[in-house]
Amino acid sequence: MKIRHTQTKRFGQFFFLLLTVFLLKCSIQDENAISVNKSELAELLQRNEKIQYGKEWDNVQNAYAEYITAIDKNDNDYESKLKLAQLFIKEARVTGEHGHYYPAALKVLNRVLDSDSIDSDIKFLALMTKSGVQLSLHDFGGAKLTGTEAVLLNPANAQIHGVLVDANVELGDYDKAVSLVDRMVQLKPDIRSYSRVAYLREIYGDVPGSIEALSMAVKSGYPGTEETAWAMQTLADLYAHYGEYAKAEALYNNILVMREDYPFAVGGLGALYFKQGDNAKAEQKLDQAISIIPEVGFYVSKAILFKKENRLDELNKLMPEIFEMLKDDEQSGHNMNLEYLHIYKDIIEDYDKALEYALLEYEKRPNNIDLALSLSEIYHKLNSKEKALEMLQIASTTNSKKPELLLMKKEIM
């Protein structure tokens, strides 16, 4: 399925493996953590009851207990270690507790990779899973190196090609990403591959083609699963970004029928109402999303709303909380340069500080079109027209039709 040079959701959002569920009783240590753990591996944090989703949370607890018990009995049970790492990765996505779960997953995976007795299949799975975590931590160069090592062990696996698609997209090597996604679709046309086709089509300016591919991704997923909800979320976000607000709202609400209190759909509605100027409804939805998981993006959206309404006292109270969350993520190994960039550019309007963070990323990935657009906006605010035009040229290399890019062209060209 060729994508006709015509963007998948960022860095591995459709990477994660489906978990194998085992039924085994677990013990509850306290209200925040569930533990049967003698192996010095991370504990399973209690989910907010709003995101327990019926038997799903029971299955997660049972699986965690199964894996920990197996590892306690046999430290060479690499299959259980891999499944535990995958469980941690999925919990990071579902709960927003990135600072707890991503380092936990890396610790398990590194224990597997440090072993001299693993076979090539286990090594491949450990490397592939590790590269997905690196993507989530915004270590795109590291993810590409790890993924490249993995693909040499199993070039016929579709998922590792997906990891490399994401890494190359973030590093700005879009032609390489196109060839990788073509190979991925050939190997396994499913929700993960169609989602990546969609992302690349958007990058190359084919928005209708992106919508078509994401619709195929949604249809190929299992109804009610987190993975399918994420594909629907991505499609709704795409509709919202390009002004199809009614379609976006309907899709967000459909997600919430399938997975009540799915925080990203709730937050998506908040962002959508803000775009439409209904700030009261936007704030209500953002508060609802924040009550479900501690996702920093929801807090940032609320800060932007406070700024627009000139509610400076509330904004000043919220900003230290946001910075504390960013600091916590940084301490757990998460590269937060992009988050700092947008906060200083869009909320604080300290363009020199925004430039500092943007250039840290630019050194690593000078061909990324989204980063180039941010740099163009910053240089424009700093009255550096020549540099703004230079970055805008990079941002335009794929013929993207993103509204913010088209607006920037009108402003400075």
Helices 312-331 and 296-308, axial angle in degrees (round to 10): 160
Task: Please report whether residue 317 resides in a domain.
Answer: yes
CB 283 within 8 A of CB 302: yes
Res. 404 pLDDT band, cuts 50 70 90: very high
Share of the chain above pLDDT 70, in %: 91
CB 379 within 8 A of CB 388: yes
Res. 280 pLDDT band, cuts 50 70 90: very high
Average pLDDT over residues 250-279: 97
What is the domain extent for residue 318?
Answer: 245-327
Same domain, 398 and 356: yes
Give the per-residue pLDDT at 335.
96
Give the per-residue pLDDT at 346.
97
**pLDDT at 306 > cutoff 70:** yes
Burial of 156 (0-12, 13-18, 19+ CB in 10 A): exposed
Task: Please report whether residue 375 resides in a domain.
Answer: yes
The model's pTM is 0.87
**pLDDT at 8 > cutoff 50:** no
**pLDDT at 177 > cutoff 70:** yes
CB 283 within 8 A of CB 299: no
Task: Please report whether residue 249 resides in a domain.
Answer: yes
The residue among 280, 303, 327 that closes a domain is 327
Whole-Å CA distances, 364 to 155, 172, 357, 358, 373? 26, 10, 12, 10, 16
Give the per-residue pLDDT at 413.
82
Same domain, 258 and 286: yes
Task: Please report whether residue 140 resides in a domain.
Answer: no
Same domain, 390 and 411: yes
Give the per-residue pLDDT at 39.
59
Same domain, 295 and 359: no
Same domain, 341 and 311: no
Task: Please report whether residue 350 resides in a domain.
Answer: yes
Task: Tell me the per-residue pLDDT of 210-244, one tens digit each, with 9 for 90 and over.
Answer: 999 999 999 999 988 989 999 999 999 999 999 99
Give the per-residue pLDDT at 30.
38
Helices 296-308 and 263-275, axial angle in degrees (round to 10): 20
**Calpha distance 388→173 (Å, rounded):** 21
Residue 317, classed as helix, strand or coil, is: helix
- How many CA atoms are closer than 13 Å to the CA of 94, on its beta-carbon side? 26
**Calpha distance 239→254 (Å, rounded):** 14
How many domains, in total, are found in the chain?
2
Question: φ and ψ at 44, to 5 degrees?
Answer: -90, 120
Task: Please report whether residue 251 resides in a domain.
Answer: yes
Same domain, 290 and 361: no
Burial of 267 (0-12, 13-18, 19+ CB in 10 A): buried
Give the per-residue pLDDT at 25.
33
**pLDDT at 32 > cutoff 70:** no
Give the per-residue pLDDT at 53.
87
Mean pLDDT of the chain: 91
Residue 402's CATH number: 1.25.40.10
**pLDDT at 19 > cutoff 80:** no
Same domain, 289 and 356: no
Q: What is the DSSP string of 12-78?
A: TTTTPPPPPP------B-SSSEE----SSPPPEEPPPGGG-TTHHHHHHHHHHHHHHHHHHH-TT-H
Q: What is the DSSP letter of 134?
A: H
Task: Please report whether residue 344 resides in a domain.
Answer: yes
Same domain, 342 and 404: yes
Average pLDDT over residues 297-305: 97
Same domain, 340 and 320: no
The residue among 327, 355, 380 that closes a domain is 327
List all residues 6 or more positions away from 160 whose beta carbon is below 8 Å from its beta carbon: 124, 128, 131, 147, 150, 151, 154
List all residues 6 or more positions away from 238 whose beta carbon is below 8 Å from its beta carbon: 198, 202, 207, 210, 211, 214
Max Cα-Cα span within the chain: 66
The residue among 262, 295, 327 that closes a domain is 327
**Calpha distance 412→316 (Å, rounded):** 32
Give the per-residue pLDDT at 40.
79
Res. 374 pLDDT band, cuts 50 70 90: very high
Nearest-CA neighbor of 14 among 228, 292, 224, 237? 228
Average pLDDT over residues 388-403: 98
Task: Tell me the per-residue pLDDT of 58-112, one tens digit each, with 9 for 90 and over.
Answer: 999 999 999 999 999 999 999 999 999 999 999 999 999 999 999 999 999 999 9
Give the per-residue pLDDT at 15.
40
**pLDDT at 51 > cutoff 70:** yes
Give the per-residue pLDDT at 28.
33
Task: Please report whether residue 369 resides in a domain.
Answer: yes
Give the per-residue pLDDT at 37.
52
